[in-house]
Structure 1
Amino acid sequence: MSGSSAPALILLAAGAARRFGSPKALARHAAWQGQSMIGARLAQLLPLLQAGEFSRLCVVLGAHAEPIGAHIAPLLAPYAPKAFAHICPHWADGQSASLGSGIRALQANDEQRATPAAMVALLDQVLLQASDYLALCAHWRHAPHAVCASRYPDGALGAPAIWPRHLWPQLLNLQHDQGARAYLQHARALDLPRAALDIDQRADLLQLEPSPRGESDADLAY
């Protein structure tokens, strides 16, 4: 996949994580072999960027931007300028603000308008594997002018989802904490059952399998 025909990826990591009780991007779990949540996500996604499966990787930060940004800076640096962090100044307005800010950041880094689409992914969908992101990309390529979304076991459509460039204005027009689900009703869908779990509270981490080394789910650090 050439960089000019590959979608960009926006990883949303701007939320305050109030119900989690601490910056969940920096939470660690045995299932991630000592890595932070955001470190484990980037360990999956950055090799895909390097392989040309994605043209850009924009990590949108907001709440706790300083410690999270410092934490991921050395992870992103080897992949710059294709991988970069972007701080959403209005993150408190909800996911729609973070998503729109990420789209604008992509546009600012794509003066030639070469990026055909953007995959929107959530930091806390921690069960997703690299193969899931690749499968969604492959599904989108069959109809690259349509939105392609993940279908959860309950039938709902959601992230990760791929938005072709001509539909980016829809994302820029979202307000408050609306998110993009309202526009996914007629999206092409791919079954991605692992996308159904997102980490909202610390107790959600108990649903993760321990690492092969045998640590228990109680081996958490925040």
Structure 2
Amino acid sequence: MDVTHPGPGAPVAGLVLAAGAGRRYGRPKALVEVHGRLLVERAVATLRADGCDSVSVVLGADAESVGARADLTGAAVVVNPDWAGGMGSSLRTGLAAVMPTPAVAALVLLVDMPGITPEAVRRLVGLAAPQVLAMAGYQTGRGHPVLLGRAHWVGVAASAVGDVGARPYLRERVEQIRVVPVGDVADGGDIDTEADRVRFLAAGEAASA
């Protein structure tokens, strides 16, 4: 097999980053409910739906409550003891957890993005290869999910500090990044406040009317 271009069916590890305290929201966003499901449950289901071969969820703030309330069946739960240090530590924790797996790439999704769909995930997963860097493309720019080929995991982990995640690593390699248009099937907005959640729900109702 050509390990540089494994082709369709190459194993991909899904990573849900759900460790934050949700200070602006007032509680961990993993526990926020949208359409009858917790955000962390939605994120796991989205990555598992015909997309990722395995899914790991990185918890941190109030991890015990999240683990008790959320149905995370089929996902590996990893607790980041340094979650207060920012998203960078959660990304490092997640990449360390999937390193022993045979995955050729990791697809990273933030827990507070309920508008990401399985179709958007499939489009990115289809590019999976050890050397690939890919991001979802929207009308307003690029964003999550982000596909990180295995060859980049060590470098991403080394540069992921504070609350910036993979951003510094990707910024230095912008010409290598493949942007995958998903704006026709997904909403790349996040939910930081209750007002954001209300807007998301209202937009969904308007679209289905």
Q: Note if contact 1:160-1:195 (Cα within 8 Å) is conserved in structure 2.
A: no
Q: Note if contact 1:8-1:55 (Cα within 8 Å) is conserved in structure 2.
A: yes
In structure 2, the residue matched to 1:41 is 43
Q: Which runs of 4+ in 1 moved over 6 A?
A: 211-214
Which structure is richer in relative contact order (CA contacts within 8 A, separation 6 or more)?
1
Deviations 1:188-218 (A, max 9, x none): 111233353000111101222459999xxxx
Deviations 1:3-30 (A, max 9, x none): xx2210100001110000122211223x
Distance 2:91 2:17 in 1: 7
Distance 2:77 2:72 in 1: 11
Distance 2:60 2:72 in 1: 18
Q: Which runs of 5+ in 1 are unaligned?
A: 215-222
Deviations 1:68-103 (A, max 9, x none): 01123x432xx3xxx211001111111110000001
2:28 pairs with 1:23: yes
2:169 pairs with 1:180: no
Q: Note if contact 1:150-1:195 (Cα within 8 Å) is conserved in structure 2.
A: no
Structure 1 counterpart of 2:111, from 120, 123, 129: 123
| Identity between Structure 1 and Structure 2 (%) | 32
How many pairs are equivalent?
192
In structure 2, the residue matched to 1:217 is none
Deviations 1:17-60 (A, max 9, x none): 0000122211223xx2x222222223333343xxxx32221000
In structure 2, the residue matched to 1:54 is 52
Judged with a 3 Å threshold, the aligned counterparts in structure 2 of structure 1 residues 178 and 136 are, in CA distance, closer, same or farther, namely same
Judged with a 3 Å threshold, the aligned counterparts in structure 2 of structure 1 residues 177 and 189 are, in CA distance, closer, same or farther, namely same
Give the Å deviation of 1:158: 2.5
Give the Å deviation of 1:175: 1.6
Map residues 37-116 of structure 1 onto 2, 5 A cutoff: 37-48=39-50, 53-72=51-70, 74-76=71-73, 79=74, 83-108=75-100, 110=101, 114-116=102-104
Distance 2:188 2:72 in 1: 27
In structure 2, the residue matched to 1:163 is 148
TM-score by length of 1: 0.78
AA in 2 matched with 1:133: V
Q: Note if contact 2:87-2:162 (Cα within 8 Å) is conserved in structure 1.
A: yes
TM-score by length of 2: 0.82
Q: Note if contact 1:158-1:181 (Cα within 8 Å) is conserved in structure 2.
A: no
My pick for the range that moved more, 90-99 or 201-210, is 201-210
Q: Which runs of 5+ in 2 are unaligned?
A: 1-7
Q: What root-mean-square deviation, in Å, do the aligned CA atoms of Structure 1 and Structure 2 show?
A: 2.3
Q: Note if contact 1:41-1:123 (Cα within 8 Å) is conserved in structure 2.
A: yes
